Amino acid sequence: MLCGGWKRSRRSPEESRVSAQVAAPLAFPPSPASSDSSTKRPGLRALKKMGLTEDEDVQAMLRGSRLLKIRSRTWHKERLYRLQEDGLSVWFQRRIPRAASKHIFFVQHIEAVREGHQSEGLRRFGGAFAPACCLTIAFKGRRKNLDLAAPTAEEAQRWVRGLAKLRARLDAMSQRERLDHWIHSYLHRADSDQDSKMSFKEIKSLLRMVNVDMNDMYAYRLFKECDHSNNERLEGAEIEAFLRRLLKRPELEEIFRRYSGEDRVLSASELLEFLEDQGEDGATLACAQQLIQTYELNETAKQHELMTLDGFMMYLLSPEGAALNVAHTCVFQDMGQPLAHYFISSSHNTYLTDSQIGGTSSTEAYIRAFAQGCRCVELDCWEGPGGEPVIYHGHTLTSKILFRDVIQAVRDHAFTSSPYPVILSLENHCGLEQQAVMARHLRSILGDMLVTQALDSQNPEELPSPELKGRILVKGKKLPAARSEDGRILSDREEEEEEEEEAEEALEAAEQRSRAKQISPELSALAVYCCATRLRTLDPSPGPPQSCTVGSLSERKARKFTREAGTSFVRHNTQQLTRVYPLGLRMNSANYNPQEMWNSGCQLVALNFQTPGYEMDLNTGRFLINGQCGYVLKPAYLRQLNTTFDPECPGPPRTTLAIQVLTAQQLPKLNAEKPSSIVDPLVRVEIHGVPEDCAQKETDYVLNNGFNPCWEQTLQFRLRAPELVLVRFVVEDYDTTSPNDFVGQSTLPLSSLKQGYRHIHLLSKDGASLAPATLFVHIRIQNS
């Protein structure tokens, strides 16, 4: 049974008269018979709805282009690339034919399209091709860049412009339009003979494609109900009628009827009643009227301030109806506090695209990190040939990139996604000469972006706020430096420092002491607000606190501080920045749980951004709010100097979270090449917070239905520190004999969750959108 009570309809005679005219379902209106190309070719219907069927650039992409794919100085292969008629995917030729799904990439997975030699690959290997003929397609997640050269500059521009138009239109689509687009693309694929008519066999194929195993008798009954011509073929309006039946949302219809009554339309006052029951802050009649004007599809209903079922669904599928508070998707927090008062999105071994043993180092890894809102990146600097420092993971087989090239990438991309300050965490292994070269590159390439002196001469020791927009801070050693027992100045190598201190790697530690280098004055001068130091103890040093020092420690040491001196660690982090990094023993670049470190107020919790998993899901969820700017204000008890908060002893439960998992919609197939493979989905809700709050509960699984599974199960949690909680919604494919397979997930901060009936938009393992896949839930939060 769905949450909530029944409501009585209260409507004027005029409203009742109009409601009878507009209450008929509007989703997917029948297509009029016509001879245009979109009727003859169903796949073009999607492009027609996007308004791009006549666009010259899109037409050229539909015809296809032979482009050179560039991988190295000698590997240049001509491949055919062609936009699919769904307008959502691009087919490409491969040397060895693979499964159909391996021959396409999706427009929604593109992060950026760059013109000219604007990628590391084209700068290194594209010299033989004019920049005007080159383009780079950069993808979200871990997929490598696609570096291409077209025969002419005009053809390259057609792809640059065409992809830009498709991405812009896709971004502007409502969830309902995406669903329409999605179902018609599958309809086109299921129409095996491309005659724009659907036999029952083709309908069954369509059902398997969209992840539902429907009983043959029930499917045939639906089919015959729509076969008005009685010729065992559906076409035109009959196909649309079948899709309307297939895409019905009974649970939404029940909620709608609860508030609309028998008239089957919502007046503004009834919609307001729904909003108030949802717990919408500040809901007014004017708000309800505005929602009708924004989301109602029927013009007659809109004129009379009425909302139909389709308008109601449009609203619930929109960002305003989603679980994440839309007001929190822009910068809404106080950005004028010291840097130590914020969680700051941070990357470890940023230069790596894979593991830290033999992975590739690339400037593209920095660009991707910045695109994800990262504000603190790491540069592992070593002596290079020709007097030029290089960046790589020392003493391993990882490839090397020039320090200079990385700083140029920082200059060009650091502020593309967020205007707030970036911290360059230098791990310095260079001699004095190449340190001076590093300092020169930082000054000459970054120019006025680089902070080279205290901004407030009256209070030079006070940390600035994130309002220091467009500026870059250097984290590094500062002279005069602390000296080790043998009188040498210690290097910056974090992993080796930890190993030396804990005597875990005696031989390597001895080698470290023998090769430790001095710090050059030129480089030391650039460490203005982020002076690197080891955090060995939490005992306060004599004199005022040194706000401009950044303590670095491994995940193990951070856990030890939290366990043994939780409140002291929290107090330390109210005034000074602390950077936590993964243990060096994580050879495959695996991550640790960042929530443990946030619980103690650590700001710079550095993760391997190149390694997907629940840890990066948590990081994405933590920084999803506040405009995804990479800075999130810590809870008040993690900012107060005399706080008594201890993450190990947070006090009694004070919040109850109840999540009723209702349904899911259009879950992705896990094996697109196997038509009979249908998921058996279950939903797990995970709570990530202080140790006593951490919990997970799951629903039963639904057999053979990834299209519209229904659970209606309630999962309840008691929380002690709700301000720190992240709620992770995970959908898995149940398997009796092996571990469940991942389907999709979404991680959201509890403090930004909206109550009531909400849709949760699912993401893939590497963070890409799985639109139109959603969960539909009811959320209730009660504070004691």
Catalytic residues: 348, 393
**Number of other CB atoms surrounding residue 454 within 10 Å:** 15
* b/e sequence 565-584, b meaning 16+ C-beta within 10 Å: bbbbbbbbbbbbbbbbbbbb
**Contacts of 113-121 spanning 24+ positions with Cβ under 8 A:** 113/137, 113/138, 113/159, 113/160, 113/163, 113/164, 113/167, 114/138, 115/156, 115/157, 115/160, 119/145, 119/147, 119/364, 120/145, 120/362, 120/363, 120/364, 120/401, 120/405, 121/70, 121/71, 121/145, 121/147
Cα separations in angstroms, 730 against 470, 527, 683, 694, 759: 36, 42, 6, 15, 14
Nearest to 722 by CA among 756, 758, 749, 684: 749
Cα separations in angstroms, 1 against 4, 226, 302: 9, 30, 31
What is the end-to-end Cα distance of the chain in Å, rounded? Answer: 26
Residue type at 173? M
Specify the 3-state DSSP secondary structure of 697: strand
The C-alpha atoms of residue 317 and residue 173 are separated, in whole angstroms, by: 11
**Number of other CB atoms surrounding residue 507 within 10 Å:** 8
**Token pair in block for residue 716:** 């309840």
Residue type at 497? E
The answer, yes or no, to whether the previous bond of 466 is cis (omega within 30 of 0) is no
Rounded (5°) CA angle 625-629-632? 55
The C-alpha atoms of residue 470 and residue 332 are separated, in whole angstroms, by: 19
The C-alpha atoms of residue 644 and residue 637 are separated, in whole angstroms, by: 8
Answer left, alpha or beta for residue 10, where phi above 0 means left and psi between -120 and 50 means alpha. beta
Alpha helix (H) residue ranges in 393-431: 403-413
- Sign of the torsion angle spanned by Cα atoms 378, 609, 547, 335: positive
Contact criterion met (CB below 8 Å) for 598 and 647: no
